[in-house]
């Protein structure tokens, strides 16, 4: 490939901004300057779909109405562990208004046993809520009545739903053989090939950052101080506003799937594979997405069922989960019990980190506690053992920085404790052990905005309601998906259209694509039509790993650049120059030699030889080279969050008063949308810290709070004042140099709150969520 | 949700002729599947129907019955609130706020603004417990006719800490906590044109007496009003509710304190605890500890301590004891 050398901005404005020279493919556009010198990118551009969303015009999957459409519902086991001896669907099939009935032959969306785990041709029931059969009928009510007519003959078996109970030798075993679970487009799964013994799978001792390093025991020998504790986190269920669901329209020539998904591409892939269809015959559409936090990458058993029911009935089938199904079956953030031991020298230098964790993703995999302890700080000796513990409970799924939110809760409380032992400010300790430039700037700017100097000694605030301040940090990798392509069409009437299969999970992908293309073409974002979330268009990345912005905006800019060059070629002669001497701004193509020689872009398009021109581009490898494989770039997405809390020492209730969240994501593209995502991440973090937890009844194996009344999500009064600081951090790594923020926004909040609670009351809470019973226990009041 | 027929009742008698079961009877499977039940705001009944807990064949809508939607206040006779008055109307009523502050506070903290717009006072009193086992289709609990209270040794963090020997659920009405503290009475109409008026303290039924119901209401009865005695210039009141969330939640603990004071001395006290026992309860011990005393930090604390004497917390709700002590003390001090 021909390359050229280009100088890019590098570093943090106001701190260490400089330039870096990169060798990049000739076909890629020149470097953008920093955001101050751009017109559209990095600005507060209004969402392109704001009006459609606030007026209700936007059609989500649950709004899809097709001619002749049926409604699907699934029969779920109300027992956590059983063999199915027989199923009689005859009465349901005869029920008036029923068009199709289907019985699952295989369990989908959970870890798969090597022996298949089937009895009598039916998958074994391994959790209360596991779908068994489905019905498509003229209404949801009719479908639900018909489900009641399906007779299932169960052989009930003993079960276990508690993490600690499941590890006992006498515990009922969930999987009798080794199991694996494929990662579906970034949506979870676990390291393959690990051994299962009883309900214990693992340990996993490595991540894609490598395995253990050094010798931890020798490291502890050289330590002056040791911090050693067990930290616990809860099961956190997915509560997107729009539940999981699809509408499958199976026609003889092709299948169209309207899906509430984070990944149009993986839904197409799974559906094509499941029903043995070529991908060309499967189309997935996600025009508007009602939220997803990691569990919506996969087709899901509901999607498989809707496929069978649509195929059988010859009609479109809408299958949307209800809220209870959402809680019990659609995925969750696994819990954890983490042992963590950290050794340090008097000056703060870390000598060793040892981690051992157990967590349960129910019948799924992925209960590790992430990579944060492995990578955030300089430490020569590190080891981890992470175990999945199987229980008869709904499967875990990816959940906004999988493992890392749990891992941060242990690591960052330990660092807070270490700082106190060392008689150091927590920020000063990080200055010693954290080599990240961007987090250093975030600490400085955050501390100033938050007024960290107000912080008192732990437990020293007077009165019944005690104020406390705390902070925590996070890291998240810069993931890139090279399988990301954008097509741009310019029409004779002046319209510009951007097309990609990438879905907008709701964070504003459409808007940033419009900004990037508008910036390149010297136009306004509202002049660009964005058509995404359709697999008829070139493949885009899944919305997982905070990968979308870094993967899809460079192709968008590259395609726009190609389009621009093509237009230049067409008008250069008329403007009495050559195409390399033309530029595009303010809606005009202008000669750089004589700026009186110009033509409006609209007029140039009218003169095109064809009705439309189409360009398409993907993105090249990281300009600075990948750190690992072809998906992980150098550097990280660092963040530092500060929390201010009030703790009522008589009632035990904690209130988060304020969060200051300092974040970086390379080149920020849209400040308003970034703030929105950071606010969302912080709110979810506060909720994880104080409110949400799945209540499982050990005796019956059912979730008791599978609704939005008893499962406590925060509302307006629970949400603190949130201030965001966005640090520009240029690296010259792609044509936009931009990355996402979705996951980083959520990692540090809960542990920053926990550290603030410690600062308020002088006693540490080692378990989430921090509910009044735990606070009163810590204060010896019960 | 199941199919059902709908009847718009015009009068109390009309309604009483149409209905044949209480929701509690349907829940405990004590009636045939041809049940006809009352609905006013529908905030509880429709929720139970959506959950599949009850499937009445006929819904008798009492919301449009004339004459049940008034609030009247006289200095001498007190306050009368029609059963169909919404919580939002009560919240907005200036006389309630001025003369019965604790009631205003309890109403203003019930549900969400949207729920208060729909929920009626009568329905609030007749609603069923939010115990998650009771609300689960998968659990045939004591209150639904089996012999098992799942909460007793199960997930009981929000359950009763007193009088919890059989069923440990707590009543969902936090408005009742305040009504009981003001010594309110419930006016109930029966099919034969008879009326009875019972004190709030007699209105609720403990699970020890009958686990299948939470109030004395029979199928052929309808709440028509709540009557509250006059409140004098020496009456001071305050209500505090603590839920898991501040925005909207059921009470984990709530308390209403109604005091008769002379100067800073407490002449009489009525301290009622909600979410402590299966029904709202007057804490005689807390009242006794305060009567005849100056209201101070210490006497408030003594009263609060007394309110929790004999508490029998379960495996996961011992925290409710200090919680109650804190809010009882605070509510007493807030009256001064």
For residue A110, the model assigns a pLDDT of 87
Quick one: residue A324, left, alpha or beta (phi over 0 = left, psi -120 to 50 = alpha)?
A: alpha
State the nearest Cα–Cα gap between A656 and chain B, in angstroms.
12
Chain B residues in contact with A654 by the CB 8 A cut-off are: none
Q: Decide yes or no: CATH 3.30.365.10 for domain A32-60+481-618.
A: yes
A-chain residue closest to B111, CA distance = A709
pLDDT tens column, B257-288: 999 999 989 999 999 999 999 999 999 999 99
Dist CA A683 CA A593 (whole Å): 53
Nearest CB partner across the interface for A781, out of B130, B322, B327: B322
pLDDT tens column, A34-49: 999 999 999 999 999 9
How sure is the predictor about A497, in pLDDT bands with cuts at 50, 70 and 90?
very high
Chain B residues in contact with A128 by the CB 8 A cut-off are: 138
C-alpha distances in Å from residue A336, one per residue of A159, A163, A228, A402, A413: 20, 9, 16, 12, 15
Quick one: residue B299, left, alpha or beta (phi over 0 = left, psi -120 to 50 = alpha)?
A: alpha
At CB < 8 A and 24+ separation, what contacts does A17-24 make?
A: A17/A730, A20/A624, A20/A731, A20/A732, A22/A623, A22/A624, A22/A732, A23/A623, A24/A620, A24/A623
Contact A699 B154 (CB under 8 A): yes
DSSP string for residues in A608-641: -SSSEEEEEE---S-TT-EEETTTEEEEE--EEE
State the nearest Cα–Cα gap between B61 and chain A, in angstroms.
22
Contact A651 B323 (CB under 8 A): yes
Considering only A193-197, A547-551, A731-735, B104-108, which range has the smallest mean pLDDT?
Answer: A193-197
Q: Is the pLDDT of residue A180 over 90?
A: no
Q: Is the pLDDT of residue A520 over 90?
A: yes
For residue A189, the model assigns a pLDDT of 66
Percentage of chain A beyond pLDDT 90 is 93
Evaluate whether residue B196 is within a structural domain: no
pLDDT tens column, A205-233: 998 888 999 999 999 999 999 999 999 99
DSSP string for residues in A74-120: EEE-SSSSEEEEEEE-HHHHHSTTEEEEEE-SS--SS-EETTTTEET
Dihedrals phi, psi of A281, to nearest 5 degrees: -100, 5
Other beta carbons within 10 angstroms of residue B208's beta carbon come to 11
| Domain residue spans of chain A | 32-60+481-618, 436-479+627-782
For residue A187, the model assigns a pLDDT of 53
Dihedrals phi, psi of A620, to nearest 5 degrees: -85, 175
Q: Is the pLDDT of residue A485 over 70?
A: yes
Q: What is the mean pLDDT of residues B245-249?
A: 95
Q: Is the pLDDT of residue A515 over 60?
A: yes
Structural domain count, chain B: 1
CATH number at residue B247: 3.30.390.50
Evaluate whether residue B205 is within a structural domain: no
Contact A782 B321 (CB under 8 A): yes
For chain A, the average pLDDT equals 96
**Dihedral sign (CA B132, B137, B140, B145):** positive
CATH architecture of A436-479+627-782: 2-Layer Sandwich (3.30)
State the nearest Cα–Cα gap between B248 and chain A, in angstroms.
8
C-alpha distances in Å from residue B226, one per residue of B61, B70, B73: 20, 11, 12
Dist CA B159 CA B164 (whole Å): 9
Q: Domain range for residue B328?
A: 235-334
Per-residue tokens: A200 = 């214990």
Beta strand A112-113 pairing with A179-180: antiparallel
Nearest CB partner across the interface for A700, out of B1, B138, B242: B138
For residue A609, the model assigns a pLDDT of 86
Q: Is the pLDDT of residue B191 over 90?
A: no
For residue A635, the model assigns a pLDDT of 86
Q: Is the pLDDT of residue A186 over 60?
A: no
Beta strand B185-190 pairing with B58-61: unpaired
- A630 close to A621: Cβ distance less than 8 angstroms: yes
Bridge partners (DSSP) of residue A473 are A640
What are the respective helix, strand and coil percentages of chain B, to the nearest 5?
Answer: 30, 20, 50
- Examine residue A203 and say whether the peptide bond preceding it is cis (omega within 30 degrees of 0): yes
Tokens 């603590």 belong to which residue?
B242
pLDDT tens column, A75-130: 999 999 999 999 999 999 999 999 999 999 988 888 887 766 677 789 999 999 99
3-state secondary structure of B170: coil
Nearest CB partner across the interface for B245, out of A141, A650, A691: A691
State the nearest Cα–Cα gap between B32 and chain A, in angstroms.
19
Helix axes A426-433, A437-450, angle to 10 degrees: 170
Which of B29, B241, B225, B59 lies closest to B140 in space, CA to CA?
A: B29
A-chain residue closest to B323, CA distance = A651
Q: State whether residue B53 sits within 8 Å of chain A by CB.
A: no
Q: Is the pLDDT of residue A663 over 70?
A: yes
B237's enclosing H/E stretch is: strand B235-242
DSSP string for residues in B209-236: T-TT-SB---TTEEEEEEEE----TTEE
Radius of gyration of chain B (CA): 19
Selected residue of A79, A161, A325, A772 to mutate for chain B interface (largest B Cβ count, 10 A): A772
* Length of chain A in terms of residues written: 782
Contact A650 B153 (CB under 8 A): no
Q: Which residues are CB-contacts of A780 (< 8 A; sequence separation ≥ 6)?
A: none
Q: Is the pLDDT of residue A201 over 60?
A: yes
Which of B196, B176, B194, B195 lies closest to B184 in space, CA to CA?
A: B176
3-state secondary structure of A540: coil
Contact A691 B244 (CB under 8 A): yes
Contact A697 B150 (CB under 8 A): yes
3-state secondary structure of A49: coil
Percentage of chain A beyond pLDDT 70 is 98
Q: What is the mean pLDDT of residues A503-518?
A: 97
For residue A190, the model assigns a pLDDT of 76
Evaluate whether residue B252 is within a structural domain: yes
Q: Is the pLDDT of residue A188 over 80?
A: no
Q: Is the pLDDT of residue A25 over 80?
A: yes
Per-residue tokens: B51 = 């959950």
For residue A117, the model assigns a pLDDT of 64
Chain A residues in contact with B132 by the CB 8 A cut-off are: 695, 704-705, 710
Evaluate whether residue B6 is within a structural domain: no
- B219 close to B190: Cβ distance less than 8 angstroms: no
For residue A106, the model assigns a pLDDT of 86
Contact B154 A78 (CB under 8 A): no
Nearest CB partner across the interface for B318, out of A655, A714, A782: A782
Selected residue of B246, B315, B324, B329 to mutate for chain A interface (largest A Cβ count, 10 A): B246
| Same fold yes or no, A32-60+481-618 and A436-479+627-782 | yes
How sure is the predictor about B193, in pLDDT bands with cuts at 50, 70 and 90?
confident
Selected residue of B52, B323, B332, B333 to mutate for chain A interface (largest A Cβ count, 10 A): B323
Other beta carbons within 10 angstroms of residue A230's beta carbon come to 13
């Amino acid at each position: 490939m021909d390359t050229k050398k280009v100088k890019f901005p590098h570093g943090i404005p106001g701190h260490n901004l400089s330039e870096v020279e990169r060798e990049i493919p000739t076909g890629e556009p020149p470097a953008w300057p920093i955001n101050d010198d751009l017109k559209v990118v990095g600005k507060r551009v209004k969402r392109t779909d704001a009006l459609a969303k606030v007026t209700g015009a936007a059609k989500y999957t649950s709004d899809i109405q097709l001619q002749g459409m049926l409604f699907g519902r699934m029969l779920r086991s109300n027992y956590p562990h059983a063999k199915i001896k027989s199923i009689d669907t005859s009465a349901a099939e005869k029920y008036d208004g029923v068009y199709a009935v289907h019985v699952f032959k295989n369990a989908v969306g959970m870890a798969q046993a090597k022996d298949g785990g089937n009895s009598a041709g039916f998958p074994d029931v391994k959790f209360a809520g596991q779908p068994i059969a489905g019905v498509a009928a003229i209404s949801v009510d009719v479908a639900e009545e018909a489900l009641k007519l399906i007779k299932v003959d169960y052989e009930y078996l003993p079960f276990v739903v508690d993490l600690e109970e499941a590890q006992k030798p006498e515990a009922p075993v969930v999987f009798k053989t080794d199991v694996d679970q494929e990662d579906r487009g970034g949506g979870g799964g676990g390291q393959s090939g690990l051994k299962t013994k009883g309900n214990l799978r693992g340990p996993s001792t490595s991540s894609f950052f490598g395995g253990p390093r050094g010798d931890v025991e020798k490291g502890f020998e050289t330590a002056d101080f040791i911090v050693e504790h067990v930290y616990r986190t809860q099961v956190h269920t997915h509560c997107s506003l729009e539940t999981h669901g699809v509408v499958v329209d199976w026609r003889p020539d092709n299948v169209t799937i309207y899906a509430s998904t984070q990944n149009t591409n993986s839904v197409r892939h799974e559906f094509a594979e499941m029903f043995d269809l070529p991908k060309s015959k499967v189309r997935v559409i996600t025009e508007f997405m009602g939220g997803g936090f990691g569990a919506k990458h996969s087709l899901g058993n509901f999607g498989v069922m809707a496929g069978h029911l649509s195929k059988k009935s010859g009609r479109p089938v809408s299958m949307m989960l209800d809220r209870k199904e959402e809680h019990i079956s659609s995925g969750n953030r696994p819990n954890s019990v983490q042992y963590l031991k950290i050794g340090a020298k008097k000056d703060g230098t870390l000598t060793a980190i040892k981690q051992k964790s157990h967590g349960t993703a129910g019948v799924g995999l992925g209960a590790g506690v992430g990579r944060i302890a492995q990578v955030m700080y300089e430490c020569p000796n590190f080891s981890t053992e992470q175990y999945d513990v199987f229980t008869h409970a709904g499967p875990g799924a990816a959940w906004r920085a999988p493992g890392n939110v749990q891992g941060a809760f242990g690591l960052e409380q330990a660092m807070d404790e270490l700082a106190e032992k060392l008689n150091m400010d927590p920020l000063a300790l990080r200055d010693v052990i954290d080599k990240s430039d961007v987090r250093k700037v975030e600490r400085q700017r955050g501390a100033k905005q938050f007024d960290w100097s107000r912080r008192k000694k732990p437990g020293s605030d007077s009165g019944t309601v005690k104020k406390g301040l705390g902070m925590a940090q996070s890291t998240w990798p810069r993931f890139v998906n090279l399988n990301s392509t954008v097509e741009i069409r310019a029409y004779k009437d002046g319209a510009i259209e951007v097309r990609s299969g990438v879905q907008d999970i709701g964070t504003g992908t459409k808007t940033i694509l419009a900004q990037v293309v508008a910036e390149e073409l010297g136009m306004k974002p509202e002049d660009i039509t964005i058509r995404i979330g359709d697999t008829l268009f070139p493949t885009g990345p899944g919305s997982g790993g905070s990968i979308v912005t870094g993967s899809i905006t460079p192709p968008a800019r590259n395609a726009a650049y190609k389009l621009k060059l093509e237009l230049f070629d067409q008008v250069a002669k008329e403007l009495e120059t050559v195409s390399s001497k033309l530029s595009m701004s303010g809606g005009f193509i202008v000669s750089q030699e004589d700026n009186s020689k110009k033509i409006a872009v609209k007029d140039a398009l009218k003169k095109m030889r064809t009705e439309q021109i189409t360009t398409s581009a993907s993105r090249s490898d990281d300009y600075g080279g990948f750190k690992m494989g072809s998906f992980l770039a150098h550097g990280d997405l660092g963040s530092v969050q500060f929390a201010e809390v009030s703790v009522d020492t008589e009632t035990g209730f904690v209130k988060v008063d304020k969060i200051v969240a300092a974040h970086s994501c390379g080149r920020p593209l849209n400040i308003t949308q970034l703030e929105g995502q950071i606010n969302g991440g912080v709110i979810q973090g506060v909720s994880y810290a104080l409110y949400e937890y799945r209540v499982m009844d050990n005796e019956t194996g059912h979730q008791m709070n599978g609704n939005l009344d008893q499962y406590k999500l925060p509302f307006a009064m629970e949400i603190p004042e949130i201030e965001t600081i966005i640090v520009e951090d240029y690296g010259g790594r792609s044509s936009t140099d931009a990355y996402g923020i979705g996951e980083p926004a959520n990692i540090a909040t809960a542990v920053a709150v926990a550290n603030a609670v410690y600062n308020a009351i002088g006693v540490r809470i080692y378990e989430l969520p921090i509910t009044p019973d735990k606070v009163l226990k810590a204060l010896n009041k019960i | 949700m199941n199919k059902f027929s709908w009847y718009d009742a015009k009068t109390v008698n009309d309604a009483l002729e149409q209905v044949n079961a209480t929701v509690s009877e349907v829940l405990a499977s004590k009636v045939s599947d041809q049940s006809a039940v009352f609905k006013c705001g529908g905030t509880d009944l429709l929720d139970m129907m959506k959950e599949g807990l009850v499937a009445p064949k006929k819904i008798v809508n009492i919301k449009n019955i004339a004459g049940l939607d008034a609030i009247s206040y006289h200095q001498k006779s007190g306050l009368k609130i029609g059963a169909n008055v919404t919580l939002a109307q009560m919240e907005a009523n200036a006389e309630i706020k001025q003369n019965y502050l604790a009631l205003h506070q309890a109403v203003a903290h019930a549900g969400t603004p949207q729920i208060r717009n729909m929920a009626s006072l009568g329905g609030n009193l007749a609603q069923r417990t939010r115990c998650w086992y009771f609300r689960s289709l998968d659990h045939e609990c004591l209150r639904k006719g089996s012999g098992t209270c799942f909460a007793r040794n199960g997930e009981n963090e929000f359950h009763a800490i007193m009088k919890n020997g059989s069923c440990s659920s707590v009543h969902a009405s936090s408005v009742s906590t305040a009504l009981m503290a003001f010594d309110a009475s419930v006016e109930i109409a029966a099919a034969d044109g008879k009326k009875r008026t019972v004190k709030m303290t007699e209105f609720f039924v403990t699970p020890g007496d009958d686990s299948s119901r939470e109030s004395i209401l029979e199928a052929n009865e309808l709440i028509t009003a709540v009557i509250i005695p006059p409140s004098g210039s020496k009456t001071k009141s305050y209500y505090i509710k603590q839920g898991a969330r501040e925005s909207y939640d059921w009470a984990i603990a709530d308390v209403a304190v109604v005091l008769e004071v002379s100067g800073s001395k407490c002449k009489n006290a009525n301290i009622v605890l909600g979410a402590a026992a299966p029904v709202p309860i007057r804490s005689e011990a807390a009242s006794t500890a305060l009567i005849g005393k100056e209201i101070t930090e210490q006497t408030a604390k003594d009263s609060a301590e007394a309110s929790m004497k004999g508490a029998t917390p379960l495996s996961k709700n011992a925290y409710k004891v200090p919680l109650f002590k804190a809010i009882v003390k605070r509510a007493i001090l807030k009256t001064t």
